Structure 1
Amino acid sequence: MTKRALISVSDKTGIVEFAQELKVLGWDIISTGGTKTALDKAGIDTIAIDDVTGFPEMMDGRVKTLHPNIHGALLARRDSDSHLQAAKDNQIDLIDLVVVNLYPFKETILRSDVTYDLAVENIDIGGPSMLRSAAKNHASVTVIVDPADYTSVLEELKNSGETAYTTRQRLAAKVFRHTAAYDALIADYFTAQVGESKPEKLTLTYDLKQPMRYGENPQQTADFYQKALPTDYSIASAKQLNGKELSFNNIRDSDAAIRIIRDFKDRPTVVALKHMNPCGIGQADDIERAWDYAYEADSVSIFGGIVVLNRQVDAATAKKMHSIFLEIIIAPSYTKEALAILTHKKKNLRILELPFEAQDASETEKEYTGLVGGLLVQNQDVIKETPADWQVVTDRQPDKQEAAALEFAWRAIKYVKSNGILVANDHMTLGVGPGQTNRVGAVRIAIEQAKDRLDGAVLASDAFFPFADNIEEIASAGIKAIIQPGGSVRDKDSIDAANKHGIAMVFTGVRHFRH
């Protein structure tokens, strides 16, 4: 009995060559719409779908394959006499191979001119139905959704006359992943359209971007996935211009770095990061000077770190960066001279280019944190703050330079792991105390780093001071201005201690825990 294949594809990559090989092997081919047109044009004899169903394609192509002559041909169990008899009684000829991929819903909703009606019309119904029918009956039916599988399937058909069960099972699993991802995109689109913020089912889909050698540690396996609808300002979308493949920790650190730099759009800024914490942030009127400040902030910790710059990297800045060991450099662009300098004798230095103009759009994404047996979802900490909303709670007011330093320090402390303390002036960080189990410890670390550079320095705390001992520690270092959220039941104790030492203290009313 002649075997039959049903071919109906949106992505026509390699389909003519595949169909030609099937015909050589003696297969009949059923086809639809544009696929049939393409195959006919190539001189490949095909059977029209309406010749199989006995019904014309109708309703602008919405109805063409939803018919018992198609789904009975796919779902009939070859090991069931009753199924085979039912097919015979109803004149249903079996279909042994299905090659289908779906209407381009993803590509449609990514279009700048997409309308709701256009998105709806690009929701495939018949395609997923045929795929699921064929995949369910993978004991007998081979189903292909990815052109990458054409070659291996043809090889098996040529060598054995049929595909192996393990092949059909593997392809069926791929189909169900494909249709699940397709439906997840549709669900996400409609969820957004109706403004549902807390759906009872969370449907996410990501595409494998990079299998990784290992995860956070060598004993951990890991892979890097990218959103099915890519975010432009993302490490997953970055253009790598030089260097080795990014590791798991590289990706985590780079993501943290590009989040930090988003808060410093107004001036040329450089952020140096190590182990998810900023070790130096510098801002100036030009990117070279901003680099100088970021480097001077902590010239020890920056070694082997990640650097992100929010302006084009020029030759002068590149020369300075080239002189030390860095893991990764990220910027919106590089001059030709700068790129030549950075890559000279540094084949492993990872150099990434990102579209910084897409920063604002990246802020609307949700954050997902995995845990054993669950997933936490939250908005990013991108609240817009302005000094006009802050409150000076002490007798002493910050002077103009201190006010500028406090604003700079408050932007920076947001990205320091809790308990986090940061000392800065108006153009660079001076000391960072991240991730301590008590706030006094974090204060001491930050001040120790900043010692001998405390003239005009201010201090920021990511959360309130629960006890006045923090103020005493700060006062003993000679720091004269503090910024913190406030909100402790012992705020008065801290305010009194600040007044005693002539310290200006600002409450922002917003905390920035970062775990």
Structure 2
Amino acid sequence: MQLRYGMNPHQAPASVEPVGAAPFTVLHGRPSYLNLLDAIAAWQLVREAASGSGSVAAASFKHVSPAGAALAGPLDAVTAALFGVDAGADAVTRAYTRARDTDPKSSYGDMVAVSAPVTAALADLLARVVSDGIIAPGYEPGTVEVLAAKKNGTYLVLEADVTFEPPAQEVRELYGLRFVQRRDDAPLPDELSADLRLAVSTVRYTQSNSVVLVRDGATLGVGAGQQSRVDCIRLAGAKAQLWHRRRFVPGGDPDAHQSVQVRVARQLELAKTIDVPEPLHNVSLASDGALPFVDNIVEAAKFGVTHIAEPGGSARSALVADAAGAHGINLTHTGLRLFRH
């Protein structure tokens, strides 16, 4: 398949070819290199999250990391009003709405992935937000046509092959070198709670270093691509706090003539000015690498974290575990490092 270009427009020509059966079919549009990197990572995330939870899952991807991910839980009034979605919408629409609500500013121009067929309600939502493409296991009648009309007819629509199983070995060629490794297919520990399981699945497909905060089956903040792990926590925590502050922005009936993007901008500005009557609480945190210092626990506690899943095995893991106990945080060592580069 000839791509529009590679990582950047000046990196052309560019192409992609399956090493066996193709994992998806292009129903509409012409993908770029980055479109496909986002799509295949996002699809793996929602497939894993759905399988582990028994619920529909969705993700909003930007620059090879999720801006948000969620299961099909209930929509609160703030989220429903912001996106103009009925609180009783179908599961796949609720899952994506919750995923995009994590960080709606970062989701601008995202690649969408959902674990269930696209419904008319989801197609209607996507028609009203800025997005570059979607990958899904199927599409209800008429939805491909709605999506194909986006972006002046260039919106990317991919249909995932749900029977596809990737090769056990991954190969990448860079700068005259060929890198070969086993695919990251290690199963997640059975003892993880539902929120920690979603957090670990999300962090697995986030560029390292990374930390993910989850509550009630939806991400609250993703801290991706930081060299310092404590900075990952601070970044994810700042996003989670903003998400929390947005719950207290005065509501009211949204102006039907306002775009979702205008509503998002207004809500974000108002959230900075209001007093929050209660702090965040009962938040779960997953880290793709071991928490190396006690300051990670101190920072996590500031954002209402009560449960942590991290690999463990660092020289200071015992000290970190003691600090977690002192802050009332339940800490689980998964023994599973999940770096992604």
TM-score range, shorter chain: 0.7 to 0.9
Alignment partner of 2:208 out of 399, 406, 418: 418
Q: Which residue is equivalent to 2:22?
A: 232
User: Which residue pairs with 2:265 in the alignment?
Assistant: none
> Are the aligned partners of 1:431 and 1:446 in contact in 2 as well (CA < 8 Å)?
yes
Look at both structures and tell me which one has the larger radius of gyration over its CA atoms.
1
Q: What is the CA–CA distance in structure 2 between the aligned matches of 1:213 and 1:344, rounded to whole Å? A: 19
- Shift in alpha-carbon separation, 1:383–1:345, aligned structure 2, 3 A: closer
1:281 matched to 2:66? The reply is no
1:408 is paired with a residue whose SS is: helix
Q: In structure 2, how many angstroms separate the alpha carbons of the residues matched to 1:270 and 1:280?
A: 8
Give deviations 1:246-271, integer Å, cap 9, x for gaps. Answer: 11221222222222223123321111
Q: Pick from 175, 185, 199: which aligns with 1:372?
A: 175
Give the one of 444, 447, 454 matched to 2:237: 447
Alpha-carbon deviation of 1:213?
Answer: 4.6
3-state SS, counterpart of residue 220 of structure 2: strand
Match for residue 241 of structure 1?
27
- CA distance in 2 between partners of 1:241 and 1:369 (Å): 27
Tell me which amino acid in the other structure corresponds to 2:131. Answer: L
Distance 1:270 1:345 in 2: 20
SS in 2 for 1:377: strand
Among 143, 155, 159, the residue aligned to 1:349: 155
SS state at 1:294 partner: helix
Q: What amino acid is the match of 2:188? A: E
Asked if structure 1 preserves the Cα contact closer than 8 Å seen for 2:215 and 2:283, the reply is yes
Over 3 Å counting, the alpha-carbon distance change for 1:342 and 1:219 in structure 2 is: closer
The reply on whether 1:329 has 2:119 as its aligned counterpart is no
Give percent identity, aligned residues only.
Answer: 34
Indicate yes or no: 2:105 matched with 1:300.
yes
Corresponding residue for residue 224 of structure 2: 434
1:3-38 per-residue CA deviation (whole Å, 9 max, x = no partner) reads xxxxxxxxxxxxxxxxxxxxxxxxxxxxxxxxxxxx
Aligned pairs (5 A) from 1:116-515: 209-210=1-2, 212-227=3-18, 230-233=20-23, 238-243=24-29, 245-264=30-49, 265=51, 266-284=54-72, 286-344=91-149, 346=151, 347-358=153-164, 361-362=165-166, 364-388=167-191, 403-451=193-241, 453=244, 454-515=280-341
> Take 1:476 and 1:294, find their aligned partners in 2: how far apart are those partners?
23
Contact 2:149–2:155 (Cα < 8 Å) also in 1: no
CA distance in structure 2 between the aligned counterparts of 1:327 and 1:350, rounded to whole angstroms:
6
Give the counterpart letter for 2:176 in structure 1.
G
| Aligned equivalents of 1:386, 1:253: Cα separation in 2 | 26
Offset at residue 503 of structure 1 (A): 0.9
**Deviation at 1:225?**
3.2
1:468–1:255 CA distance, 2 compared to 1 (3 A): same
Structure 2 residue matching 1:246: 3-state secondary structure: coil
* One-letter amino acid matched to 1:405: D
For the residue of structure 2 that corresponds to 1:336, the secondary structure is coil
Q: Which is richer in strand?
A: 2
TM-score by length of 2: 0.79
Contact 2:282 2:304 in 1 (8 A): no
> What's the secondary structure of 2:298's corresponding residue?
helix
Distance in 2, Cα, partners of 1:312 & 1:269: 11
Give unpaired runs (5+ residues) of structure 1: 1-208, 391-402
Aligned residues of 2:56 and 2:95 also touching (Cα < 8 A): yes
Return the alpha-carbon distance in structure 2 between the equivalents of residues 476 and 456 of structure 1: 12
Runs of at least 5 residues in structure 2 that lack an aligned partner in the other structure: 74-90, 245-279
Shift of residue 501, structure 1, vs aligned partner: 1.0
CA deviation profile, 1:198-249 (whole Å, cap 9, x unmatched): xxxxxxxxxxx32x4532123323421313x52332xxxx322223x11122
8 Å contact kept, 2:57–2:92: yes
Q: How many pairs does the alignment contain?
A: 284
- CA apart distance, 1:316: 1.0
Distance 1:278 1:498 in 2: 27
**Cα separation, 1, equivalents of 2:7 and 2:149:** 29
In the aligned structure 1, how far is the partner of 2:4 from the partner of 2:31?
10
Provide, for residues 64-99 of structure 1, a one-character-per-residue CA deviation record: whole Å limited to 9, x for no partner: xxxxxxxxxxxxxxxxxxxxxxxxxxxxxxxxxxxx
Paired letter, 1:426:
D
Residues 107-153 of structure 1: CA distance to partner in whole angstroms, max 9, x if unpaired?
xxxxxxxxxxxxxxxxxxxxxxxxxxxxxxxxxxxxxxxxxxxxxxx
Q: Tell me, in whole angstroms, the C-alpha distance in 2 between the residues paired with 1:219 and 1:239.
A: 26
Distance 2:163 2:72 in 1: 20
Paired residues of 1:310 and 1:356 also in contact (CA < 8 A)? no
In 2, Cα distance between equivalents of 1:415 and 1:273? 10
Q: Matched residues in 1 for 2:314 and 2:239: separation?
A: 27
Q: Secondary structure at 1:407's aligned position in 2?
A: helix
Name which structure has the greater RCO, CA cutoff 8 Å, separation 6+: 2
Could you say which structure has the higher helix fraction? Answer: 1
- Runs of 4+ aligned residues of structure 1 deviating over 6 Å after TM superposition are none
Aligned residue identity for 1:336: P
TM-score when scaled to structure 1? 0.53
Q: Aligned equivalents of 1:323 and 1:246: distance in 2? A: 21
Secondary structure of the corresponding residue to residue 356 of structure 1: coil
The separation in 1 between residues aligned to 2:282 and 2:22, in whole angstroms, is 39
